[in-house]
Structure 1
């Protein structure tokens, strides 16, 4: 006798698997950034040169979010969203970035 699979399971299982992968991915991303920060701190303590490689993200010191390098302004040391929100002050009362 053939086994019958309920149609709701056919749609729900891939959605649940996708949600679990999304949650696991965010935790792995945070873990990867934490490991890179620890590695950078150890290299700084030991006087070693910075690790070679590409920069995938920069932590904004104002909002503490990881942003892509193209969204970070090195001159102002802020991400674009911080520049947009803090730079919109009243005349003479705004924050100069």
Structure 2
């Protein structure tokens, strides 16, 4: 006798698995960034050179979000999201 699976369950299971993967991935990314910050502090205290490697993310000083280097403007020292929301020059007079 064949097993009948409810159609809502067929749609819900992949969504739940995807949500779980997103949560696990963000928590792992936060741990990786925290580890790199601690490593940078220890290297600074011990007067060692910076860790070799590539820069994978930069923390925006305005919104404190980790962004990819290509989405960060070094001249304005902010991410693209902050530039588009704050740099419009409307009302507040703030121009990045």
Establish whether TM, by shorter chain, passes 0.5: yes
Against the structure 1 CA distance between its residues 20 and 41, is the aligned structure 2 distance closer, same or farther, given a 3 Å change threshold? same
Q: Is the 8 A contact 1:72 1:78 kept in 2?
A: yes
CA deviation string 1:50-70 (max 9, x = no partner): 111111110000110111101
Look up the match of 1:42. 42
TM-score by length of structure 1 reads 0.80
Gaps of 5+ in 1: none
Against the structure 1 CA distance between its residues 52 and 79, is the aligned structure 2 distance closer, same or farther, given a 3 Å change threshold? same
Look up the match of 2:87. 87
Gaps of 5+ in 2: none
Look up the match of 1:32. 32
The alignment's C-alpha RMSD in Å is 2.2
Displacement of 1:85 after TM fit? 2.4
The 2-side partners of 1:38 and 1:6 are apart by: 49
Q: How many residues align?
A: 95
TM-score by length of structure 2 reads 0.81
Q: Is the 8 A contact 2:88 2:95 kept in 1?
A: no
The 2-side partners of 1:84 and 1:29 are apart by: 25
